[in-house]
Amino acid sequence: MRSIQAICPAHLMSAMGRKPTRQEWVESCHLPWSGWAGYQNNMAGRVVIILLALLVAGCDRFYGVESRTRLRGPVDVRCVNAALATVPDVQRVTYQRNKLDDGVAHHWLYGENGADIVELIQDSDGWDFSNSRRRMGVAVPHEQMVRFVPLMQAVNQALQARCGLPVAELRAEPVGDTKPSEI
């Protein structure tokens, strides 16, 4: 459930330096007006509101492609920044760190208009890694996924070569309702 925060368009606007309006948060994150204060003030409120909004809204579908794994050892965030900088097609990288109730979420937006996300979520048991291009409610066009997969693999290889993260051999997997044949 923690990765929904990275998918919400208003959250991405915020990560890219533009402060979304209250209306943009509500519309793009599917939040009820009454939940705004809870969403804004604490993570537990955010999770509850998102769960309720998804239940009420009929649960938007997720689409896209990702590589994902669980990591045991510590991850050097500075090394991830440096590794991303070595991949030619990464373009501009935007980093964001969010405190969670049980850990910390690190997001790097990169690629075509910041549409790609390397996400590391640290909790007491280790780190969840994902590298993805995904959308909520709208299918990612096949042409974009075809362009993204080699970039995702190049990023994963750089992360393994420079930072020692065992992610170079991860396969591209469909997200949610995306069919494997669409990748």
Please name the residue ranges forming H helices in 125-164: 142-163
Mean pLDDT, range 17-42, rounded to an integer: 49
**Total Cβ atoms within 10 A of residue 117:** 24
Q: Are 137 and 61 in contact (CB under 8 A)?
A: yes
As a dihedral over the C-alpha atoms of residue 64, residue 68, residue 74, residue 76, rounded to 10 degrees, the angle is: -40
| pLDDT at residue 181, rounded to an integer | 74
Q: What is the pLDDT of residues 143-156, one digit of tens each?
A: 888 899 999 999 99
Domains of the chain: 4-57 (no CATH), 62-182 (3.60.90)
Q: Mean pLDDT throughout 49-56?
A: 57
Phi, psi of 24, rounded to the nearest 5 degrees:
-65, -40
Q: Does 68 score more than 80 pLDDT?
A: yes
Q: What is the pTM of this model?
A: 0.67
Q: pLDDT for 100-118, tens place per residue?
A: 988 999 999 998 888 899 9
Helices (H), the chain: 4-7, 9-15, 22-29, 36-41, 43-57, 77-85, 142-163
Q: Are strands 62-71 and 173-174 parallel, antiparallel or unpaired?
A: antiparallel
What backbone torsions phi and psi does residue 73 show, to the nearest 5 degrees? -80, 170
pLDDT above 90 as % of the chain: 42
- At 162-183, the pLDDT tens digits run 999 999 999 999 888 777 777 7
Who's near 14: CB < 8 A, 6+ residues apart? 20
Confidence of residue 71 (pLDDT cuts 50, 70, 90): very high
For residue 162, which amino acid is it?
R
The whole-number pLDDT of residue 135 equals 87
Mean pLDDT across 39-49: 55
CA distance 102 to 92: 30
pLDDT (mean) for 53-76: 78
Q: Is 51 helix (H, G, I), strand (E, B) or coil?
A: helix
